[in-house]
Structure 1
Amino acid sequence: RRIAIAQAVFKDLFANVPAAVSLFGGVNGENINSNEFKAHCIRVVNGLDSAIGLLSDPATLNAQLAHLATQHKAREGVTKGGFSA
């Protein structure tokens, strides 16, 4: 179920922002049914679960989010503008 939910979110993202697919080349974003992309979906959902679980511990949540930001900063093409509402 977690995979299906994440795939639906990414499918919608890719339909609305086709250029975003290229940001997920390292996890085979062109095929959301691939094992690589499904594994990525699990990591995304687990990250959300972790963040939600840390809402009552802001210091640890901030450390977790800072770590996640560092991981994504190293990915070419990921920009601050991609996160605007």
Structure 2
Amino acid sequence: MPNAELGPVHLRRIDPARNMARFYVLSIQPTLFGGASLIRNWGRIGTHGRAMVETFDEGADAGEAFARIERRKRRRGYAAPAERT
């Protein structure tokens, strides 16, 4: 399961035909109380975008949410910049 030591996941979805250039970043950060926060940033490439922080009591729960969201984004066409051809 992903955790804070693995670092953030940067995903992009670029489709020039639809004028689409989006990014999505997922990361997990520990909280001061022993839990973990899932931090999500998204928006159009070249902007600051938006952010959402979701806090979990257990790091494992944050890891499961991280994996679930990453799978969903990859199914929708997002990929890491190195994976693109």
TM-score normalised by the chain length of structure 1: 0.36
Which one has the bigger strand percentage? Answer: 2
Asked which structure has the greater RCO (Cα within 8 Å, sep 6+), the reply is 2
Which one has the bigger helix percentage? Answer: 1
